[in-house]
């Protein structure tokens, strides 16, 4: 399984929730260099197998963003369950923090 260690997807149905997921994992915006903020389903397409993702509060997405939030959550978890995407581990996040600092 190929792992793209240079990209981290930050997923949320609104920019505010995507940023919340970023901050909850101790990350800061990097000007779009390595972070990909995904707020809509089409943004989940085309990534390398096993691309790491971070997100938060998925149980509230439908309430906060309606149908779009529910659909984004459903597609996100389907892609995680199929192995297309994967939940970022501590080593993914640590590597990304190092890239920002270095």
Across 3-7, 35-39, 77-81, 97-101, least confident range: 97-101
Tell me whether residue 66 is in a domain: yes
Q: Using alpha carbons, select from 49, 35, 46, 45 the residue that is nearest to residue 72.
A: 45
3-state helix, strand, coil in the chain (%, to 5): 50, 15, 35
Confidence band, pLDDT 50/70/90 cuts, at residue 31:
low
In a domain, 1, yes or no: no
Total count of domains within the chain: 1
Q: Is residue 25 part of a domain?
A: yes
Which pLDDT belongs to residue 34? 83
Structure tokens belonging to residue 23: 């901050």
On whether residue 3 sits in a domain, the answer given is no
**Domain assignment of residue 53, given as a range:** 8-101
Q: In this structure, is residue 2 part of a structural domain?
A: no
Q: What is the pLDDT of residue 102?
A: 46
91 falls within a domain: yes
pLDDT at residue 101 tops 70: no
């Amino acid at each position: 399984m190929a792992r793209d260690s240079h990209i981290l997807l930050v997923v949320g149905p609104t920019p505010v929730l995507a940023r919340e997921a970023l901050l909850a994992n101790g990350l800061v915006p990097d000007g779009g260099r390595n972070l990909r903020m995904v707020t809509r389903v089409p943004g989940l397409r085309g990534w390398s197998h096993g691309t790491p993702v971070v997100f938060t509060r998925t149980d509230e997405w439908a309430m906060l963003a309606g149908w779009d939030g529910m659909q984004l959550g459903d597609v996100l978890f389907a892609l995680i369950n199929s192995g297309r995407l994967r939940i970022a581990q501590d080593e993914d996040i640590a590597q990304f923090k190092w890239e920002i600092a270095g």
